[in-house]
Amino acid sequence: MPSYQWPPSLWAAVTPPAPYLSPLSGDLDVDALVIGAGFTGLSTALHLAAEGVDVAVLEAAAPGWGASGRNNGQVIPTLTRPDPDDLIAKHGEAGERFVTVLRDSADYLFRVVRECGIDAEAEQSGWIQPVHTPGRMKIAERRYEQWSRYGAPVELLTRQQVRDLTGSEIWFGGFQNPTGGHINPLALARGLTRGALDRGARIFTETPVRTISYAHGKWYAATPTGRVTAQRLMLATNAYTGEMTRELTPDIAREVVPIHSWQMATKPLGDNIRHHIIPGRQAVSDTHGDLHFARYDARNRLVTGGALMVPVDAPRRLKARIGRRLKRMFPLIGEIGFDYVWNGYVGMTTDFTPRFHQLGPDGYAWVGCNGRGVALSVALGREFARAMQGTPLSELGLPFSQPTPLPAHAAVRRLAPLRLIQFRWNDSREL
């Protein structure tokens, strides 16, 4: 029996079981070691194994157990912010390469799913970002202009177009990217697991890494049941970097703030309703700081969610609150019932920007998905695999920086949910 508890969710209920995997027992010597079996770790391992690299993955629980298997499953080829011009102003040519990776990330995810034959309910139906006040059309116009300039196939939307696409009167326009869509994230994680195993990777579950070190040209990872020695290392633990052990990479763990993200799934909607609510089955997430978002799953449930400052009695409170929200968004929805409510961590940074780090020679890490990690994580797996095979960093879309741990990280983490007050205040104003 596993030593961890698998979190209940819609995805856990409908996804076929993962292949049986065992913990590490004893010592192991490999070419490359990946720590963490989420999207980035599994994608990195898959790409390395496809090139004949002897790669092992160490996972503290099971593939997809963390954020990768618990998120909403929207496949979005942008960050929440900053926008492309800001990324390039900050990181120069590396920022420009990263923008290219980000621009193509949704297309790349769906391509990997097709090429690996992953049954993950993948729908490349597009992604829409409506704006929730008239003045915020400036956001849509800015993003449309910048992403168009960098080659993304985006389209600016009028209020009537958003109404036609979503079936909702609450928005004032927006923009869309047809390369986006949605996916069953746990099925994607388990499919990437099978793909990596089929290509020769070794994946060990229930094997938390306690410490990593570098000496004599090699990386060493100590676990409770053995030690792995590797020439190259990838740390892909994101929001859970400081959760299993505080000694792993404390500076990196303290620059990301794990925030609970609540997801919910309604009962299946009938065809008569679905013809009026997001009839094209796009993923929708708007410009609220207290985000309004929804997409269908393969069983025609609306998968949505929300945020809470205090998680007391969370499922009951969320069902009432998000039920009212859906009524405002989609008055034709009728009576709303929720079959599933679950949560997981999102790795947030203070500026909503991912952090990329070199741990040492041939050692890499990243944290800070900021709620936009599904498409990006899979694409980053390819980039990190290229780095670990010797591709010059000047050719990679990885804008590296030094870790910047937050002062009083524990206090920041406890107080972070209170930022919802600021978000909701801003949401109520014309900015």
Output the DSSP codes for 20-61: P-----S-EEEEEEEE--SHHHHHHHHHHHHTT--EEEE-SS
Side chain identity at residue 388, one-letter code: M
d(CA 328, CA 317): 17
The CATH fold of domain 10-71+186-256+351-407: FAD/NAD(P)-binding domain (3.50.50)
Question: What are the CA-CA distances from residue 380 to residues 46, 112, 223 (Å)?
Answer: 12, 13, 26
Its pTM stands at 0.97
pLDDT score at 3? 62
Residue type, 326: L
Burial class (CB in 10 A: 0-12, 13-18, 19+), 224: exposed
Going from the first residue of the chain to its last (431 residues), give the mean pLDDT of each consecutive group of 10, the final group possibly shorter.
78 94 97 98 98 98 96 97 96 98 98 98 98 96 98 98 98 98 98 98 97 97 97 96 88 95 96 96 97 98 95 94 97 95 94 96 97 97 98 96 95 91 90 71
Phi, psi of 282 (to 5 degrees): -70, 160
pLDDT computed for residue 1 by the predictor: 47
Q: In this predicted structure, what is the pLDDT of residue 4?
A: 75
Q: How many CA within 13 A on the CB side of residue 117?
A: 4
pLDDT the model gives residue 430: 83
- C-alpha separations of 414 from 136, 252, 375 in Å: 31, 18, 29
CB 60 within 8 A of CB 208: yes
Count CB-CB contacts under 10 A for residue 421: 11
Alpha helices in 150-182 (DSSP H): 159-166
What pLDDT is attached to residue 2? 59
Which helix (H) or strand (E) is 167 found in, with range? none
Describe the crossing of helices 84-103 and 105-116 by its angle, rounded to 10 degrees: 20
